[in-house]
Amino acid sequence: MQAKHNGDVSFWYADIGGVPAYRPSLPGDIEADVCIVGAGYTGLWTAYYLKKAQPALRIAIVEKEFAGFGASGRNGGWLSGGFSWSREKYAKTSSRGAVIDMQRAMFGTVDEVIAVTEAEGIDADIRRVDNITVATNAAQLQRARAEYEELLSWEMPPERLAFLDAREARQRIAIDKVLGAFVVRNVARVQPAKLVQGLAAAVVRLGVPIYEQTQVLAIEKGKVATTRGIVRAQKIVRATEGFTAGIPGYERLWLPLNSAIVVTEKLPQKLWDAIGWNGYEVLGDAAHTYCYAQRTREGRIAMGGRGVPYRFGSRTDVRGRTQQATIDQLHEVLTRLLPQTKGARLDHAWCGTLGVPRDWCTTSGFDRESGIGWAGGYVGLGVSSSNLSGRTLRDLVLGHDTELTRLPWVDRTVKKWEPEPLRWLGVHTMYQLYRIADRREANGLGRTSRLAAFADRLTGH
């Protein structure tokens, strides 16, 4: 099925009247106390918390496009406080208790983001909801239950979790062939572009300039070179997430993994009566090539997934335009899970990139010798993780020793991704194996396919 609109950054911008007008570019060479590269969630949260902590700080943000051009304005709108990275990997370099502290801090981001939006008057369609992961075959049901039990084993408060049988899951959302579901409570649904634009406006009100249409050419100690001039700053924060590979010297640090979303037309009430979804839960499934979805404010379904997962040479998309094959895949996922939607039109499709470290574990940190800090590699959990990044980078940049700066993701180092064509082959092989594994499980395998386990070992997932 063709989508009425493809690209134009994302539907979320169409929902608010189009992409914003550009702010002024860097006017030439300037000096600042802190230079932040990238005006997405990570850069904006960092600027917000730094300026709140020390109002006299001279902070400058440089951005290649406009604030919220990247994943911050294109994501699925899950303010989940999620922690899907390997707890065991973090524990190997810290301790079990430290990982539990990090998990608790991540889940706390939901309340923190909501508190800031209320304080700053940001209307981002935020609604507190549950996160529901559905299983539609026996293998998925095993994985969903294993994830539920793993959370309990890592001291997640039991009142925040639930496991639903088929009848209970169907009462929530009428997913076809659903066998059960695992629920995490106290998450939220957001309109991503509204959140990032509101946050950008709040940062500007605090006195932080955002220099747009200013492409960074190089980052080095004390200096950020751009197409519009040089920013000299004692401290620098790299907040470029999925676009990091475009900066010289960082080509193999984080892989830009593609994700795409389709949005339906507004669905009639009769169709919602058939689907349910009255709790506006954020919805995912337990497939290896998993999907993520939300019921929007005005009654659409936004359905996301990986599509074409990676472009050779870490290339990124052109203003969100995605391939028809990806649109077809996402439409198939939507109508397979919710066959009630087969007659619904797709109003918009787009894609974006998210940063993936070689060990699939997000990091933040600050190198005191160079004065350069960073955060990212969120692997799809950036809406909430970026908030914790901003507060952590505030403390790191200011030189404070706090509970946040002692969390196990801070100053974590991982090896680089392989050069091409090895990383292209590895990522595409992984997703081909996942798709084959999903088909085998859907056809009655009854357990997790060994092909999926091999795919995980291949790429360190």
Note the pLDDT tens digit of each residue in 170-190. Answer: 999 999 999 999 999 999 999
pLDDT tops 80 at residue 280: yes
Q: Give residue 283's pLDDT band: very low, low, confident or very high (50, 70, 90).
A: very high
Supply φ then ψ for residue 223, to 5 degrees: -155, 135
Averaged confidence pLDDT in the chain? 96
Strand pairing of 346-356 and 282-285?
Answer: unpaired
Mean pLDDT, residues 43-65 taken together: 98
C-alpha distances (whole Å) from 105 to each of 109, 314, 374, 437 are 7, 31, 18, 34
Residues in the chain: 461
What integer pLDDT is reported at residue 208 of this predicted model? Answer: 98
- In DSSP terms, 367 is beta-bridged to 372
What integer pLDDT is reported at residue 267 of this predicted model? Answer: 98
d(C-alpha 16, C-alpha 237), whole Å: 29
What integer pLDDT is reported at residue 272 of this predicted model? Answer: 98
Q: Which of the pair, 314 or 109, is modelled with greater confidence?
A: 109
What integer pLDDT is reported at residue 3 of this predicted model? Answer: 94
Q: Are 323 and 340 within 8 A, CB to CB? A: no
What integer pLDDT is reported at residue 461 of this predicted model? Answer: 85
What integer pLDDT is reported at residue 308 of this predicted model? Answer: 79
The closest of 24, 36, 32 to 375, measured between CA atoms, is 36
Continuous H helices in 154-280: 166-172, 192-205, 269-275
> Computed from CA positions of residues 119, 124, 127, 130, in that sequence, does the dihedral angle turn out positive or negative?
negative
Residue 361 makes CB contacts below 8 A (sequence gap 6+) with: 85, 86, 89, 90, 377, 379, 409, 412, 414
What integer pLDDT is reported at residue 82 of this predicted model? Answer: 85
What integer pLDDT is reported at residue 60 of this predicted model? Answer: 98
Other CB atoms within a 10 A radius of the CB of residue 5 amount to 16
What integer pLDDT is reported at residue 460 of this predicted model? Answer: 86
What integer pLDDT is reported at residue 459 of this predicted model? Answer: 84
Mean pLDDT, residues 430-439 taken together: 95
Least confident piece of the model among 55-59, 144-148, 316-320: 316-320
Place of tokens 């604030």: 67
What integer pLDDT is reported at residue 86 of this predicted model? Answer: 86
What integer pLDDT is reported at residue 263 of this predicted model? Answer: 98
What integer pLDDT is reported at residue 171 of this predicted model? Answer: 98
Buried b (16+ CB within 10 A) or exposed e, 197-219: bbbbbbbbeeebbbbbbbbbeeb
pLDDT tops 80 at residue 192: yes
C-alpha distances (whole Å) from 224 to each of 63, 65, 99 are 12, 16, 34
pLDDT tops 80 at residue 85: no
d(C-alpha 390, C-alpha 41), whole Å: 8
The two structure tokens encoding residue 307: 């599509």
